[in-house]
Amino acid sequence: MNLIIDIGNTNAKIAVFDHDNIVEADTIKTSNIIEGINKFTQKYKAVNRAIISNVSISDNHEIKEHLSLQSVCFLSENLKLPFKNLYKSKETLGSDRIALASAVIKHYPNSNVLVIDAGTCITMDFIDKNGNYHGGSISPGIDMRYNSLSNNTSNLPELEKKYPSDIIGSSTEESIHSGIVNGVIFEIRESISEYQGNYKDIKVILTGGDSVFLSKPLKISIFANQNFLLEGLNFILNLNINS
The domains of the chain are located at: 1-74, 90-229
For residue 223, the SS3 value is strand
Is 1-74's fold the same as 90-229's? yes
For residue 70, the SS3 value is coil
For residue 36, the SS3 value is helix
pLDDT band (50, 70, 90) for residue 55: confident
pLDDT given for residue 88 in this prediction: 96
The span from the CA of 26 to the CA of 97, in Å, is 20
The span from the CA of 54 to the CA of 95, in Å, is 7
Is residue 39's pLDDT more than 80?
yes
DSSP alpha helix (H) spans, 66-206: 95-107, 142-152, 172-177, 183-198
For residue 15, the SS3 value is strand
Superfamily of domain 1-74: ATPase, nucleotide binding domain (3.30.420.40)
Which of 37-41, 59-63, 183-187 has the lowest average pLDDT? 59-63
Give residues with Cβ within 8 angstroms of 179, minimum separation 6. 169
pLDDT band (50, 70, 90) for residue 46: very high
pLDDT given for residue 222 in this prediction: 83
Helix H or strand E segment including 12: strand 11-18
Mean pLDDT of 42-61: 83
CATH architecture of the region 90-229: 2-Layer Sandwich (3.30)
Closest CA to 49 of 72, 81, 20: 72
Mean pLDDT of 169-198: 97
The span from the CA of 150 to the CA of 146, in Å, is 7
At 39, give phi and psi (nearest 5°). -60, -45
Dmax (CA) of the chain: 61
Residues 72, 52 contacting (CB under 8 angstroms): yes
Average pLDDT over the chain, rounded to whole? 92
Query: Could you read off the pLDDT of 152-180 as tens digits, one per residue?
Result: 998 999 999 999 999 999 999 999 999 99
Residues 174, 163 contacting (CB under 8 angstroms): no
For residue 37, the SS3 value is helix
The span from the CA of 67 to the CA of 63, in Å, is 7
pLDDT given for residue 127 in this prediction: 98
Q: So which residues are the catalytic ones?
A: 96
Mean pLDDT of 214-237: 89
5-to-30, 49, 60, 160 alpha-carbon distances in Å: 11, 11, 11, 29
Bridge partners (DSSP) listed for residue 11:
29
pLDDT band (50, 70, 90) for residue 108: very high
The span from the CA of 6 to the CA of 97, in Å, is 12
pLDDT given for residue 57 in this prediction: 59
pLDDT given for residue 58 in this prediction: 62
